[in-house]
Every structure is written in C-alpha cells, then in structure tokens.
C-alpha cells in the first residue's frame, strides 16, 4: 500500500488493467444481463445497476490515477467531464446501435475521451503522461454508468423506453449527478498523503450503491423494471461497503478517539 499525492502517479493495490477489465466486462455484462433477464422477470433489472457499480469503481480508480498528478483544479471537474462525455456518447450509442447500443456507446465515449485526452496534453500542455489513457477510461466508465443505471430504471436499454422513462422525465439529470458524484467523490474524499486504493475504491462501491438505490426509486414508475429488488440489494451493498469503509478508515488512521457529544450550555459554564 503506497500513498498517492499531488505530483506523482498513484500506485499500489489492484493493477489498473484488472480494474479496466472489471469495469468494461462488468459494465457491459450488467447492461446486457439486465436487458435480457428483465424480459423473463422485471425483478432482474437490478443487474444493470450492478454493472454500473463495476463501471463506477473503474471510473473512480481512473480518476484516482490521473488526479494524483494534480489537475490544477478540483477533482470534481473530471467527474463532471466524464458524465458530460458519457451522456453524449451513451445517447448516441443507444439511439443508433439498437441491440449493440451499449457497445457503440462505449466505443464512442472512448474515442471522445481519447481525443480530449490528447488535446489536454498536446494543446493545453497539461503534461500528465497517463492523460490520454485516463480520459479514455473515464469517458468509457461514464457511458457505462449511465447505461447501467438506465437499465436499472427501465429494464432495457432500447432507446424508445430509455427516452420515455429516463430522458423525457428528467431522471437523466439524476443519473448525471449521482453517477458523476460516484465517479469523482471517492478520490475527492480520500485524497491526501495517506490515501490508499482499497479505501478509495470502497467509497466508490458505497456511492455506486446509493446511485443504485436512487435508480430503484425511479423504477417504481417504470413497467419493465421492478423497484424493490434494486432498492433492497442497493441498501445491502451500501451497508456492507460502508461498514468496510469505516473499518478501512480505522485501519489507516493513526488513532481513532471518541470525543463524545458536544457539551451542553450548562456544562460549559
């Protein structure tokens, strides 16, 4: 476990290639699994959200790597950019791709991300060696997050249903912010000299679970997806991830002391 910090590459923990595999395969498997199994029973829509969590963890890890170099501005910017690129690419992919929608969206996002990464280094002169790769990863993760959560909300990634239930109703804004938060928040909350990869990624799982619960709540109004399994599984994942996160905080902290409640006014006198 080594520490990330401004000015250098964050290292340690699970190699990035494994996380890329987890995010890509998990994200696509979640989207397709949720889509096809929802035909059998709407209860399986939650698989889409599990795919989104895989993509979120991957995105969080990519943000951690690139933001460790110091972006010159806050970490949130890159998360918002991820979802900005992701939303453009995923709507395009789902609209033109049909059954190949998630794959088309993913590839489109990766291309947009790669070009923006190249521009950041070549035109803006940011000089971050992994910028091209990270931007590609972050855009791809953003697109898969949006698609995964859309599947959890509607039970399908067919564009008509997504447009009707997710976009026209404005829930896409919820996905935008909840998904963006889940990707940007893990590193933003944990950064510093004592940052460790497992703790950061656990925050990602926990934030992803919150997004899953939100998707479940939206699913209450959709026909193709049932809300209860998504909400219940989301709450269970959130609880497990949060307990694990608290354990990791206790492990990484020098000392944890209880200060008790704030003193009342009488006690202060």
Residues that bind another protein (CB under 8 A): 71-74, 76-78, 80-81, 83-89, 91-92, 95-96, 108, 111-112, 115-116, 119-120, 123-126, 159, 163-164, 167-170, 172-173, 176
Q: How far is the CB of 88 from another protein (least distance, A)?
A: 4
Cα 144 from Cα 33, distance rounded (Å): 13
Q: For residue 65, give Cα distances in angstroms to 6, 43, 92, 195.
A: 10, 36, 28, 12
Is the CB of 80 or the CB of 240 nearer to another protein? 80
Supply the minimum distance, in Å, between the C-beta of residue 196 and another protein: 23
Instruction: Name the minimum Å distance from CB 65 to another protein.
Output: 16
**Closest to another protein by CB, 111 or 249:** 111
Select 15 or 98, whichever has its Cβ closest to another protein. Answer: 98
Residue owning tokens 């000015």? 7
Least Å from the CB of residue 117 to another protein = 10
| Phi-psi region at 260: left, alpha or beta (left = phi > 0; alpha = psi -120 to 50) | left
Beta carbon of residue 232, minimum distance to another protein (angstroms, whole number):
29
Residue closer to another protein, measured from CB, 15 or 74: 74
Residue whose CB is less far from another protein, 46 or 176: 176
Q: Where do runs of H (alpha helix) occur along the chain?
A: 16-40, 46-67, 76-97, 101-122, 131-154, 159-162, 171-190, 197-219, 227-252, 265-268
227 neighbors 191 (Cβ within 8 angstroms): no
Return the closest-CA partner of residue 179 out of 169, 168, 171: 171
Residue 157 contacts residue 28 (beta carbons within 8 Å)? no
- State the Cα–Cα distance between residues 219 and 217, nearest whole angstrom: 5
Q: How far apart are CA 214 and CA 174, in angstroms?
A: 8
Give the nearest distance from C-beta 18 to another protein in angstroms. Answer: 28
Please, what is the minimum distance in Å from the beta carbon of residue 130 to another protein?
Answer: 15
168 vs 228, which CB is nearer to another protein? Answer: 168
- Nearer to another protein by Cβ, of 43 and 71: the residue is 71
The token pair that represents 9 in the structure block: 């590459």
């Amino acid at each position: 476990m080594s520490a990330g910090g401004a000015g250098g590459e964050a290292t340690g923990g699970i190699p990035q290639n494994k996380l890329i595999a987890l995010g890509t395969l998990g994200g696509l498997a979640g989207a397709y699994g949720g889509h096809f199994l929802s035909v059998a029973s709407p209860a399986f829509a939650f698989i889409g959200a599990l795919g989104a969590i895989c993509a979120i963890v991957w995105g969080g890890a990519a943000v951690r790597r690139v933001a460790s170099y110091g972006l010159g501005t806050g970490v949130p910017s890159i998360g918002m950019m991820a979802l900005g690129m992701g939303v453009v690419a995923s709507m395009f992919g789902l609209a033109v791709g049909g059954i190949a929608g998630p794959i088309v969206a993913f590839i489109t996002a990766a291309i947009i991300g790669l070009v923006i990464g190249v521009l950041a280094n070549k035109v803006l002169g940011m000089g971050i060696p992994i910028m091209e790769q990270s931007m590609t990863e972050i855009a791809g993760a953003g697109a898969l997050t949006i698609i995964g959560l859309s599947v959890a909300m509607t039970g399908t990634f067919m564009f008509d249903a997504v447009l009707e239930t997710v976009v026209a109703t404005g829930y896409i804004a919820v996905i935008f912010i909840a998904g963006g938060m889940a990707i940007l928040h893990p590193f933003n909350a944990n950064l510093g000299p004592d940052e460790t990869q497992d703790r950061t990624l656990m925050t990602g799982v926990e934030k992803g679970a919150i997004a899953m619960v939100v998707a479940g709540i939206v699913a209450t109004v959709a026909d193709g997806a049932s809300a209860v399994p998504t909400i219940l599984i989301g709450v269970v994942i959130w609880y497990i991830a949060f307990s694990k996160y608290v354990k990791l905080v206790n492990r990484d902290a020098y000392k944890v002391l209880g200060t008790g409640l704030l003193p009342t006014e009488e006690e202060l006198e």
